[in-house]
Amino acid sequence: MTACGKKGPPLPPLRYVPGPAVDITATRTGDEVRLQFVLPTRNVQGEGPLSLDRVEIYAVTVAASSPNPPNRDLLTNTYLVGTLEVKPPASEGDTPPADPAADTRPAAGEKAVFVEALDEAKRSPQITTPAPAIPEAVTAAAAAAAAAPPVTRRIYVARGVTRGGRPGQPSARVELPLVALPVPPAGVQATVTETALTLAWIAPVPDLPAAAAVPWRFNVYAAGSTTPLNEAPLSTTTFERAGVTFGEEECFLVRTAIVSGNATLESEPSDPVCVTPVDTFPPAAPRGLAAVGVAGAVNLIWEAGTDADLGGYLVLRGEAPGDTLQPITASPIRETTYRDTTVVPGVRYVYAVVAVDTARPPNRSPESNRVEESAR
């Protein structure tokens, strides 16, 4: 059999471009906007090493009466507001850097942050074209869906670019409403338990009736940090953080937040609250104390405690009946057994054990169960 196919021209090489950045959000605090997103990990074509050199940030402010621009108009040099360099993936044969931590550029799959100062010029609408009239035949529902948003807003988009300048797939948009920021909360207080720190505050009172319809949310920050301690804005006026470092001062502040889609508007910070936790929490009382009298001594045994800051045990003794129990160990012992050789044979003694922790001064637990015994 003879072939009848025709050889065609060679195909052009596949030109890889990066996929979209994901999990994009924007938070406005005062006159600063923090845009956060996760860098792509694969190309649009889904194969080959990731082709990503940098990420371009585009933003435009749209008047309340204007429709949002399509990407073909938005993703232009006119609205390019910044560029983030990306750490390139390591290639076979590359010499490892002398100090990897010195390269602070985000890598593929990592979170990237872009900060924009929201000055008066950026708050002023750049797009002011009125929305087109809606035909009367359009249903009320469709008309509502097509209507322009009621407020001026700033729109952000991120897009990866290859080293050769080929643009990748744009991210989802963030629409940040340019409205008055909320009022900060008041009366922030901190309380401490042995294992956690709890903050509580008073929600602000809406200054306008329309503001009452917007549910307040809250973000909690450690002083000096730009990342909230809470994973998502809180709908309650309390926050508990697990873990306490006794003797170390920590300061916190709270911001009121308005959430609109993937955009958040934050108030100025509350007055900071500072707390230095003090360990006043005793360990649990020892359990299962038992005593056995032998010739010239009384042997004691009890269950080991499980407190993380357990410093040891004190053994208490008194003569029965009714004597006040006093320590017979000069300092805490780590063992859970004790042999009392200072007894007088035939005299009946009452024993108990208390646990102490490593705090200074140490906290002392309640007594264990009491037992009576005498030496033979």
Mapping DSSP onto H, E and C, the string for 23-62 reads EEEEEEECCEEEEEEECCCCECCCCCCCCCCEEEEEEEEE
Contact 170, 75 (CB under 8 A): yes
Contact 158, 55 (CB under 8 A): yes
- Of all residues in the chain, what percent carry a pLDDT higher than 90? 80
Contact 109, 41 (CB under 8 A): yes
Identify the pLDDT of residue 48: 78
Which of 177, 201, 224 terminates a domain? The answer is 177
Supply angle C-alpha 153, 222, 225, rounded to 5: 55
> Closest Cα partner for 186 from 199, 204, 208, 211?
204
Question: Would the pLDDT of 12 be above 80?
Answer: no
Identify the pLDDT of residue 367: 97
Residues 31 and 145 in one domain: yes
4 assigned to some structural domain: no
Question: Would the pLDDT of 291 be above 80?
Answer: yes
17 assigned to some structural domain: no
148 — pLDDT class (breaks 50, 70, 90): very low
- Identify the CATH number of the domain in which residue 222 sits: 2.60.40.10
255 — pLDDT class (breaks 50, 70, 90): very high
Residues 320 and 345 in one domain: yes
Which of 275, 301, 335 terminates a domain? The answer is 275
Residues 153 and 196 in one domain: no
| Torsion of the alpha carbons at 330, 331, 334 and 339, rounded to the nearest 10 | 0
**Tally of structural domains, the chain:** 3
Residues 309 and 164 in one domain: no
Q: Distance between CA atoms of 220 and 189, rounded to whole angstroms?
A: 12
Residues 235 and 202 in one domain: yes
| C-alpha pair distances (Å), 28 with each of 206, 224, 269, 274, 291 | 19, 17, 12, 25, 67
The whole-model pTM stands at: 0.79
- Identify the CATH number of the domain in which residue 75 sits: 2.60.40.2150
The sign of the torsion formed by the CA atoms of 107, 109, 115, 116 equals positive
118 assigned to some structural domain: yes
Cis peptide before 321 (omega within 30 of 0): yes
Which of 157, 177, 197 terminates a domain? The answer is 177
9 assigned to some structural domain: no
Average pLDDT, rounded, for the chain: 90
pLDDT digits (tens, 9 = 90+) for 299-352: 999 999 999 999 999 999 999 988 999 999 999 999 999 999 999 999 999 999
Residues 69 and 190 in one domain: no
> Closest Cα partner for 108 from 92, 88, 129, 91?
88
Residues 214 and 325 in one domain: no
16 assigned to some structural domain: no
Mean pLDDT confidence for 89-95: 67
Which residues constitute the domain of residue 320? 290-373
